[in-house]
Amino acid sequence: MLVIYSDKIVLPDKVFSGYIKIQDNYIQSIDKSITKEEEKYLTDLSGTNIMAGIININSNNMNKNDLYDMDTPRFTNKLRVIEYSYAAGGVSTLYHGINLTEKNIKSEHEKGKTMEIMQFIKDYNNSPVSLIDNKTHLKFQIHSVKTMDDVKLMLDENLLDFVSYDLLTNYKNNNLYKDLYMQSFLQDELNLTEEKADKVIERIRELRGESNIDELAYLIKYAHFRGVKVCTSEYKSADKIYKEFKDTTDIITLTSENCKENISRDIYFKLINTSKALEKCTDEYLSDGKVIISSDREPSELLICLNKIADKIGLKDAVKTATKNPADALGIEDRGEIKEGNIADIIAFKIFDEEPIVVNMIKSGKEVFKINI
């Protein structure tokens, strides 16, 4: 058993002064008092902020070169460095972003390497040396139907915990070149007028887009069937899929292009990186209760960002953006809040020189990280 006391426990509905009782990896109860027997297990964290462990869904610290030159000891060390840096930032569940690049698509060997690194993360997560929960996050761009097949294969192999897609910039540019070539051919070889050639090209673009949307909608449905959530920055494609198929992505990454869109509060969570959170996230977005804060590179920014957001919306609502909201978006029912029955993923932090410092982490009911200050 483990008992934690603090006068600053961030609960779902309030900041509470009292005791968190942990038994067999789970939060057993949250009370104002404890028994004499329970005092033997007490850790006194008076004056320390206590909150649920952060769920960081968008880390980009895996260099793609690791996919091609994977040495087990070296990769293990790299993974542990990333893991410890995020744990020190208050993260108890980390999604490692791996890009399925064009090189991967063209080579079965490279695709195999991508799958190998996903499996390695899975195996590492199940090993005793794992400090926090390490999850996989596949990021891909839509090249062709083969892209969809490759992602589906990884879903079938249970290698993916989360996926994100984007439209391929080079693919758009290549199609533009092909369209210009086709238009010239229609006019020069088939003697179509410019107006008629324009109409033919426009119809080709429509058919191409419809084909991509159909394939993407199927992939999203299949991912959901496998219990995996989907994210994109392409709000228009997500909205179109929702209107046509009544199923869609779960999370929209906010960008300079889509942040002014009227993104439905009822359908989508909205992901924003810590470095841009205060710049892009207006008070309106913060108040809708479905914003997710994540750090792609700098885990130390997470608590700094949450404390600044707390000045606008209060501490308990700010904490939700990195705990309850990502848990809800990803369908994680037993994490993200300090409440009875949840897995005991808890962090404690203090403010030093106006910056938050994590001083303690409880992972699955066990103390795994501690700093004496």
pLDDT in 10s for each residue of the chain, 373 residues:
999 999 999 999 999 999 999 999 999 999 999 999 999 999 999 999 999 999 999 999 886 565 555 667 888 888 999 999 999 999 999 999 998 865 544 557 668 888 989 999 999 999 999 999 999 999 988 766 678 889 999 999 999 999 999 865 444 555 554 556 566 766 676 677 878 767 766 665 554 555 567 778 889 999 999 999 999 998 988 998 899 888 999 999 988 778 778 888 789 999 999 988 766 555 666 767 899 999 998 999 999 999 988 988 899 999 999 999 999 999 999 999 999 999 999 999 999 988 999 999 999 999 998 888 7
Domain extents in the chain: 1-53+336-373, 54-335
The half-sphere exposure of 6 on its side-chain side, counting CA atoms within 13 A, is 21
Which of 210, 70, 239, 96 is CA-nearest to residue 163? Answer: 96
CATH topology agreement for domains 1-53+336-373 and 54-335:
no
**pLDDT at residue 170, rounded to an integer:** 42
209 close to 171: Cβ distance less than 8 angstroms: no
| Secondary structure (H, E, C), 55-73 | EEEEECCCCHHHHCCCCHH
In degrees, to the nearest 5, what angle opens at C-alpha 165 toward C-alphas 76 and 167?
Answer: 130
In degrees, to the nearest 5, what angle opens at C-alpha 153 toward C-alphas 123 and 75?
Answer: 30
**pLDDT at residue 95, rounded to an integer:** 98
Which of the four CATH numbers 3.40.50.620, 2.30.30.60, 3.20.20.140, 3.40.190.10 does domain 54-335 have? Answer: 3.20.20.140
**Burial zone of 173 (CB within 10 Å; 0-12 exposed, 13-18 middle, 19+ buried):** exposed
The half-sphere exposure of 173 on its side-chain side, counting CA atoms within 13 A, is 3
Structure tokens at 271: 């992901």
* CATH superfamily of the domain spanning 1-53+336-373: Urease, subunit C, domain 1 (2.30.40.10)
**pLDDT at residue 169, rounded to an integer:** 47
**pLDDT at residue 306, rounded to an integer:** 93
Residue 80 to residues 138, 159, 302, 360: CA-CA distances in angstroms?
Answer: 20, 20, 19, 18
249 close to 238: Cβ distance less than 8 angstroms: yes
**pLDDT at residue 30, rounded to an integer:** 98
**pLDDT at residue 249, rounded to an integer:** 94
In degrees, to the nearest 5, what angle opens at C-alpha 86 toward C-alphas 82 and 91?
Answer: 140
82 close to 91: Cβ distance less than 8 angstroms: no
